[in-house]
Amino acid sequence: EAQVTQNPRYLITVTGKKLTVTCSQNMNHEYMSWYRQDPGLGLRQIYYSMNVEVTDKGDVPEGYKVSRKEKRNFPLILESPSPNQTSLYFCASSPRQGSSYNEQFFGPGTRLTVL
Size of the site for other proteins (CB under 8 A): 28
Shortest distance in whole angstroms from residue 95 CB to other proteins: 10
Considering the complex, state which of residue 31 and residue 64 has its C-beta at the smaller distance from other proteins: 31
- Kindly give the pairing relationship between strand 105-106 and strand 87-94: antiparallel
Which residues face 88 on adjacent strands? 37, 111
Listed in sequence order, the residues at least 6 apart from 5 whose beta carbon sits closer than 8 Å to its beta carbon are: 23, 24, 25, 107, 108
How many Å apart are CA 49 and CA 74, to the nearest integer? Answer: 8
Ranges within 51-110 binding other proteins (CB under 8 A): 56, 58-59, 90, 92, 94, 97, 100-101, 103-109
Rule CB under 8 A: which residues touch other proteins? 4, 31, 33, 35, 40-45, 48, 50, 56, 58-59, 90, 92, 94, 97, 100-101, 103-109
